[in-house]
Each structure stands twice: as C-alpha cells, then as structure tokens.
Amino acid sequence: MGKESPFNNNRRKFIKGVSLALGTTALGIPLVSLGSCQSGNSANTEEQPGQDTSQKKKLGIALVGLGNYSTEQLAPALQETENCYLAGIVTGTPSKAKEWKNKYNIPEKNIYSYETFDQIKDNPDIDIIYIVLPNGMHAEYTIRAAQAGKHVISEKPMATSVEDAQRMIEACKQNNVSLSIGYRLHFEPHNQRVMELGQQQVYGKINKIEAADSFVFGGSPDKWRLDKQLAGGGPLMDLGVYCVQGACYTTGQKPVAVTAKFGEVTRPEYFDEVEQSISWQLEFSDGVVADCTSSYNESAGKLRGEAENGWWELDPAYSYSGIKGETSEGEMDFPQVNQQARQMDGIAQSIMDGKASRVPGEMGLRDVKILMAIYEAAQTGKRVEISY
C-alpha cells in the first residue's frame, strides 16, 4: 500500500472481518526513456449522457480495499486516467459502498463484498483488479483475482513471503492474466532520470548509493502496519522496499549480498511485533554498495548516487508529490505528475498492447527475496548472500 497515512481500521477487527486464509530476470530493470513515458495525467472530459461508448476503449479497474490509499490517491487518479477507469469496488463496509457508489457513479452490479468477491469473474466491466489490502492479504486476493480471469495489480510489497510471491506469479500464468506491482515511481520523471543517470553511467561508474525512507508513526498503536501477520514486518516492508527499488533501478542490477541490523526500540508500546527501524547495506557484483535505512520513528526520503565524475540526489524521492532532484550540474527540471494515474495508465496500456508490464510480478518477487535476506541478516548478524 501507499507509504503515508496508515490504514485506520482496528487491526484485530480487520483480521476477524476479512478472510486471511492464505492457502496453499535476474530482473535488471528495463531502462525507460523520459520521452516515452505515458502522459496519463491529463483530465478526462466530464462524462455526459450518451457517452458511455467512450469508456469501452478503456479498461475497467476494481479497487479491492477502500482504505486511505484507495480513497485519497487511487480513486482520484482514476478520474484523470486515459487508458482505464474506476469500474468497481470491493469493500466489507456497507457505508463505504454507498458513499463510493454515489460519489463515483458506480453501478450496483459492480460493487462487491469480500464474501461475493469471486462473482467478479462474471462481470465484463472489470478487466483489472487492484489489490489495496494489507500486505499479508495480497497473495490470497491476487490468486482469487487470477482465478476469476482478471488482470492484477498488487500493491507493494508484493507479499510477505517468497513462497506467496511465487504462488501469485504462478496463478497469473496459469490463468493467462498479467500481474503488476504498484511501483508508481517507475512512471515518475525524476526517478526515471535516476535510472538513466545510473544505468547509462552518465557520470561514469557508480561508486556508492544512499537511500533512506522513514516517517514517525503516530496515533493509536492498534494499526495493521504494526501487526506482524498482516504487515509481514515494520518499516522495511512498508518504506524500505522503496530504498531496495531505488538501489536496483539506479544500477539496473540485483544485489548479491546484504548485511543489516535492527535499530533500538524506544517505543515498545508500538513496536512489540515489528521492528522500529532497520539499516542495511546491499552489495552489487560490480562493487557498488548501497547504504539504506528505514524507520517508523524519524523523517527521511532520500535517494543519492555518487559516481566517478558527478552525483545526483532526490529529496524527497518517494513521496506522492513534490519530488525534487539535483545533480552535480544543477537542479533537475521535470514536471510534477500524478504518479498513480501514470502508473495505472502505463499498466493498462501494456495489457492492451499485449506487452510485458514495466513493473511485473517477477520484479516484486525479486524484491521480496531481498527483503527476506535483509531480515535474515539483521536477525543473524551475518552477511547473507541473496539467491534468485
């Protein structure tokens, strides 16, 4: 899910209310030219009576889980997309179903509960199911969506175990549907420029990468992000995945080994199940090292690369808006875009074109393997080689 504003449902209630029955490429990142990124953030003309045929050219998306990220980011973004639109919702809260139906003019037949979710297979209005649930539920609902014959977008992190990530990929392959991960920054111009600077060695060979993503977790401690079963871990799963991503798309490589350590727990009333903070060092085969940190008790959001003949830095690097960049030659001059609109438009376009997703399930699996290796290194105090 999105990194800001934790899901506000009582976590114990949430587990009880929704099934958590989780049944049973060396991926170098493809370099994307800034000139080729989808425009996706220009607003649609307001729908008028008799214009329904225009939406037939778009793919219908159903959002599963109407928490903060769906409410504040994805649904508004779907009012700006060009290749897809908000076709349906899945929610366990009747009041939300009514509110969304009225606000977005969603037909009653396109509104589902978790109990009726599998009936979505019979709905031709819905082409893509976007899983916006707690991390521990991504696998179950991705597999069920694939079995319903729908393309899938799963929020990050893809899953809370390597085994679940593999099952998600296999289910989508068996049902001949695409699987993408909600890595919006692959569609954001500043981060795309970092991909070019690093992978094309614009300033020569990379020497070092620094990445940090943190925020201060406040409010009630009874949130799903602090529940190990639902979240899979703490800030590493929620925020640290952005640092892992940043290191990988800066180099275009996969790390080969990691060392890591947990930070001190100063707020045990919050962090009795998941880590409060964690730091780790990723090693790449060409000698590049990425120093990374993530915490629920401080503020940070940086991605920096240092090379033989220059440097670059994004700060903030991972936020939904206001991303800023600078290089040793001056400021980056790129527009602010609706990242979620570009992401969903880009994924929809790849489906319509029959092409591979820019952010495929295999990329998500790679990252889950890295996250699990980081936890192993922190728990054992040993250097852990990463197997793919």
User: How many CB atoms neighbour CB 175 within 10 A?
Assistant: 17
Note the Cα 79 to chain centre separation in Å.
20
Q: Is 109 a catalytic residue?
A: no
Rounded (10°) CA dihedral 176, 177, 183, 189 = 100
Among candidates 297, 242, 231, 301, which has minimal Cα distance to 267? 297
Q: Which of 156, 223, 254, 302 is catalytic?
A: 156
DSSP, res 8: -
What is d(CA 321, CA 338) in angstroms, rounded to the nearest whole number? 8
Which residues are registered as beta bridge partners of 312?
305, 327
Q: Is 242 a catalytic residue?
A: yes
What is d(CA 278, CA 157) in angstroms, rounded to the nearest whole number? 17
DSSP, res 239: I
Beta-carbon contacts of residue 61 (< 8 Å; ≥ 6 apart) = 78, 84, 85, 86, 87, 88, 126, 127, 128, 129, 130, 153, 344, 348
Q: Which of 69, 114, 130, 242 is catalytic?
A: 242
List residues with catalytic annotation.
156, 242
